[in-house]
Structures are given as structure tokens and as C-alpha cells.
Chain A
Amino acid sequence: MTTSRKRFTAPQRLLHWLMAICILSMLFIGVGMVSTVTSKYLTLVQIHKPLGIAILVLALIRLSLRFVFHAPVLPADMPRPMRLAAELSQYVLYALMIGMPLIGWGMLSAASYPVVLFGSVHLPSILPVSPSLHTLLWHAHYYLAFAFFATILMHVAAILFHKLIRNDGVFEAMAPVLTHDESEI
């Protein structure tokens, strides 16, 4: 699943940065909404659901692009544990980008709530009404949200490490624009 290209393709980079903004916003919106009783609560919930589903759609597109264009090879001199961590975190991030929205959607279905995206656009229920399923998914959504946040923090720390300490081109592979002269192959 790698390519000799040094950088991700433009559509892959675009999706990466778009989704980075969306997901980070989602995490903030999520913890923000469950901690307030003001009218912000409803506003945030009304953003949380459609934005979460948008992330699901974008993640599926992104996964397909990954199968078509693959990812650039990691630098040859990267130590094995670091390489392993890099690869593993990519699996975890994909699983969460696809899993979190499905869990959210399933959680609402199991609680017999309509899944309203906006106005009259509703999603169908994907699970039967069940308190035990709801509880399972509610706990999963909660704990995975924090796992997601932690993974993103590590991802950010790692990429800054690549850029600021190793300066090995891993950051440039996904950088939206190149800051210094480098040929795009």
C-alpha cells in the first residue's frame, strides 16, 4: 500500500486537512455540548450530528483514495518502533473516523431518537430500540472520543517531531503547501 511518490496526492491532502478541522471541531463540540444547559446545547447538537455524518462520508472517500493512490513510503532510516507506531496510528485513526459516526448514529437509533441531519432530512434507524445496546454504544462513543483525542494529540506531536527534530520529509508528505523548495513527484 505504498507508492514511490514522496507526497500524498492533492485530493488526499485536501481531505486530510478538511477532516482534521472537522474532527477536532467535533471533539470540542462533543464535550462542549454535554457540559452546558444553555441554548448552545441545542445549537451544538444540531452541528454535531450532520458534521459527524459528513466525517463518515469523507472518511469512506478518503479510504478509497488510499486504496487507489496509496501512501508515500516512510523514510528508510526511521527506527522500527517509530515505523510501527506510525502505521498502527493510521489504522486506529481510520477505524475511529468511520467508527465514531456509526456508533453515534447507532446510539441514537437504539434510543428511539429520530436522527435529524437538518430540516426534514432524517437518516433511517440502523438498530432496534434497546437500552442495553444504547448503553454499550453510549459508553463506546464516550471512551473512544477520548481515545480519539489522545491519538490525535500523539499524531500532532509525532508529526511536529518529524518536522522539527528529524526533518525527514514525513511532514511534507501531507503538508498543504510546501514551505521550501521541493520538487513534487
Chain B
Amino acid sequence: MPQSPLSPGNLPLTRLSVIAAVVGVVVISFAYTAGWLTPKRLTPKKLVASLAPPGGPALGHRRNHAKGICFTGTFEANGNGSELSRAQVFVAGQYPVVGRFNLATPNPNAADAMVRVRGIGIRITPPNGQEWRSAMIDAPIFPVSTVQDFYDLQMASSSKEPDAMKNFIAAHPEFTTFLGWAKSAPWTGSYAEERYNSLNSFVFIDNSGAKHTVRWSLVPAAQPVSILPDELAKRGPDFLDQEITQRVASSPQRWSVVVTLSNPGDPTADPNKAWPVDRRTVDVGTLTVQQIEPEADGPCRDINYDPTVLPAGITTSDDPFPSARSAAYSRSYNSRTAEEKYYPRNATGGKQ
């Protein structure tokens, strides 16, 4: 075998530069893939940072929907969903649920009457372990149509530029549909009286392999009672938490889980667009909330209600939001679970 002795004098420089070039090309492609060379790329980090209030995020808490309260209960499937999806959660039976009522604010100490959008996170665990997680809100449509628009909206609303919001609205007329809802929809005094909507579409796959693009909602059994915002403002800052705790302690609260099927041509990729009201719906079962627990030491605290945690039989659709949400929620989860010390695990979470 030919051997070239290793003495610095006769190191072939061109050969060394070949080695350097190979390594360099790999490093540059890696840096590009990681987004280090493209600062404009919308990363999960930027998206989550855009949600933070001016003073920075509340450490240890969810980066959005930061105020919330845990619950446990059941989902009782009536079997009707099996026509649409082969997921085990739709086979008639009762499956445990860990959930969280929450407010769409990055501030865990916000006054309940100040937050327009209310939400719910649920995790249903059937015996085969194929979980169905979902995070839904009470608005009938999402404020914007694309993930980039959502980011731009956060940037505009936190901007010091006086015309930032005006300009955003002018460039995004679809946002006014949401504003219309926010201004005119009645407020209620209870998490139990809200209807919660997936807004994003997903695909159900049935036993024959046929696909159905759907959205779903939780429709409350409780009759909504509309209350003026001024009236709500007079209640304590945590009236929603107190109300739901008392209400569930006196009787379990129920919602029908209703799946809406799209027709061909419906806007499945745009959560800002409602589907026509005549679309077929299927009531697939009942969510029952049986017990409320504070978040600080409650069972929902360490759960990420990532909307892409789906059982076999449900997948994402052409809606671009679930992917972005999954990336952002994971980032938020990684941050908040690493900040445990700022949010002690006792009944009050360190609040005085």
C-alpha cells in the first residue's frame, strides 16, 4: 500500500482544501436548514415571542391562554362517529378526559371580564392509548386566514407605531368579521355556557378508507345567559374560575361533541371563513366535566393541548394552522416546563 509520510513540508495544500470544502459545504447547508442564514423565516420562536406582553412572558405559564383551570371528566361516545372515523374514541363507550378552561391572554393574572375569547383544551384517552387532543375557542371564526397574518397581527397590536392596527385592518379586511363578532356577540358569566369550536379543519378517515374533512364544536347543555360586560367587570377578577368550580361541584356540566362535514369547495384551509350553516352535522357523544382543580397543582398543567395529537382515524387537513400551532405549542411547552421554579406547584401557584 502506498504511504505518504506525514511531514508538514509536503502536505498537499489542494487536498487539504478539498477536505475543508467538503466540511464547509455541509456546515453551510446545515446552517441554512436551521434558518440561521434566513432571519426572515417565521420560526416557532418568533411566533411565540410575538405573543408576549410588553413586559415579557409570564415565566412558567403558557405563552398564550395563560389563565386557566383544570378539569377531569369523561367523553361518552354514542357510536355515531364511527360512520366517519375509525378512531377508537368514536366507538360507543366512556373514556377519561383531562381538560382545561382558559382565557385567550398571555397574562395569567388578567381579570376575567377583560378577556373576550374563552377556550377549552381537552385530552381524551381511549383504552388503546390513541389520544385525541383539541384546543378550541368560543369565537365562531379565527381573526385571520393565515399563520403569517396571525404573526403580523401580533406585531401590529404590540407596535408603538400609532397607525399599525389601522394599517393592518386596511390590509386584512377579513379581520373585521372577527371584530364584528367581538363587538356584538353576547358575553356569558360561565365557562359552562360557551360553545367551543375547533375552527381548524381536520380529516376523518372511516373504515372504508374514505376521507371526510370536518370541523367540530362542543355545544353546551347549559342555556347561555347573556350578561353585559360592565356587569361582569363588577364581579371579582377570577369570577369564571369561582363560578365553574361551584357549578361543577353542584352538578356535572355537559357538552355535545358535534362534528360538521364540509361540502366540496368549502374553505377548509381558512379558519377565518365559516362554512354555510346547512352543512351536515353528526353528534358523536357527550363531554361531561365532573371535577374542577386549580391549575398550579392540577392534572392539566403539564399537558400540551397540541391539536395535532390525533388518533389513527383523524389527520390534519390542508388547513395550515395545526402545523404552526403544534410547532408553537411545543416551543411554549418547552419554555414553561423549564421555568417551573417561577410557578410553584402548590394550590395557589405562589400567588399571595
Known pairs A38-B324, A114-B131. 10 more at Cβ < 8 A? A28-B30, A31-B34, A32-B33, A36-B44, A39-B316, A42-B308, A131-B340, A153-B26, A157-B23, A165-B15
Question: Which of A27, A41, A153 makes the CB contact (< 8 A) with B23?
Answer: A153
Chain A contacts for B309, CB-based, 8 A: 113-114
Q: A35-B43, A153-B27 are in contact. Are A111 and B302 (CB under 8 A)?
A: yes
Q: Is A132 an interface residue (CB 8 A)?
A: yes
Quick one: given A32-B34, A77-B3, are A39 and B320 in contact (CB under 8 Å)?
yes
CA distance A45 to B130 in the complex (A): 18
Once A134-B337, A165-B16 are accepted as A-B contacts, the answer to whether A41 and B323 lie under 8 Å apart by CB is yes
Q: How many A-B contacts if CB must be within 8 Å?
A: 126
B43 lies within 8 A of A37 (CB): yes
Considering only residues 4-29 of chain B, those with a C-beta below 8 Å from chain A are 4, 6, 11-12, 15-16, 18-19, 22-23, 26-27, 29
Check if B11 sits within 8 Å of A35, measured CB to CB: no
Contacts of B322 in A (CB 8 A): 42
- Residues from chain A with a CB closer than 8 A to the CB of B334 are 134-135, 138
- Docked-complex contact A41 and B327, CB < 8 angstroms: yes
Judge if B59 is at the interface, Cβ distance under 8 Å: no
Q: Is A169 engaged at the interface, CB distance under 8 Å to the other chain?
A: yes
In angstroms, how far is the closest chain A Cβ from the Cβ of B32? Answer: 9
Interchain CB contact under 8 A, A79 and B6: yes
Nearest Cβ on chain B to A34's Cβ, whole angstroms: 7
Q: How far is the CB of A154 from chain B (nearest CB, A)?
A: 9
Taking CB as reference atom, which chain B residue is nearest A138?
A: B334
A169 to B30, CA, bound (A): 30
- A32–B33 Cα distance when bound, in Å, is 5
Q: How large is the interface on B (under 10, 10 to 19, 20 to 34, 35 or more residues)?
A: 35 or more
A167 & B4 in contact (Cβ 8 Å cutoff): yes
User: Is the Cβ of A35 less than 8 Å from the Cβ of B12?
Assistant: no
Contact code string B314-331 (vs A, CB < 8 Å = 1, else 0):
001000101110111000
Whether A164 pairs with B327 at a CB distance below 8 angstroms is: no
Flag whether B182 is at the interface (Cβ < 8 A). no
B347 on interface, CB distance cutoff 8 Å: no
How distant is the Cα of A181 from the Cα of B277 in the complex, in angstroms?
Answer: 76
With CB as the reference atom, state the residue of chain B lying closest to A114.
Answer: B131
Complex interface: chain A residues within 8 A of B4 (CB): 165-167
Q: Shortest CB–CB separation between residue A40 and chain B, in angstroms?
A: 8
With A31-B30, A166-B6 known as contacts, the answer to whether A37 contacts B19 (CB < 8 A) is no
Q: Please give the distance in Å from A119's CB to the nearest CB on chain B.
A: 5
| CB of B2 closer than 8 Å to a CB of A | yes
Inter-chain contacts of B131 with A (CB < 8 A): 114
B129 at interface (Cβ–Cβ under 8 A)?
yes
Q: Pick the contact of B337: A37, A131, A153 (CB < 8 A).
A: A131
Q: Which of A126-157 contact B (CB under 8 A)?
A: 129, 131-132, 134-135, 138, 149, 153, 156-157
Cβ contacts A to B, 19 pairs, < 8 Å: A36-B35, A36-B41, A36-B44, A39-B323, A41-B323, A41-B327, A42-B323, A111-B337, A114-B131, A129-B302, A131-B340, A135-B338, A153-B23, A156-B22, A165-B4, A166-B3, A167-B1, A167-B2, A168-B3
Contact status B26-A120, CB under 8 Å: no
Closest partner residue, chain A, to B87 (CB atom): A120
Closest chain A CB from B303 CB (angstroms): 6
A168 touches B1 (CB 8 A): yes
The yes or no answer to A122 lying at the interface (CB within 8 A) is yes
Q: In the complex, A167→B309 CA distance in Å?
A: 52
- 8 Å CB contact of B3 from A34, A40, A149, A167: A167
B15 and A37: CB pair below 8 A? no
Q: For A168, list chain B residues within 8 Å (CB).
A: 1, 3
Residues on B with C-beta less than 8 A from A45 are 326
How long is the Cα–Cα vector from A120 to B309 in the complex, in angstroms? 12
Cα distance A131–B341 in the bound complex, in angstroms: 11
CB distance from A24 to the nearest CB of B (A): 8
Contact A122 to B129, CB < 8 A, known contacts A111-B337, A157-B19: yes
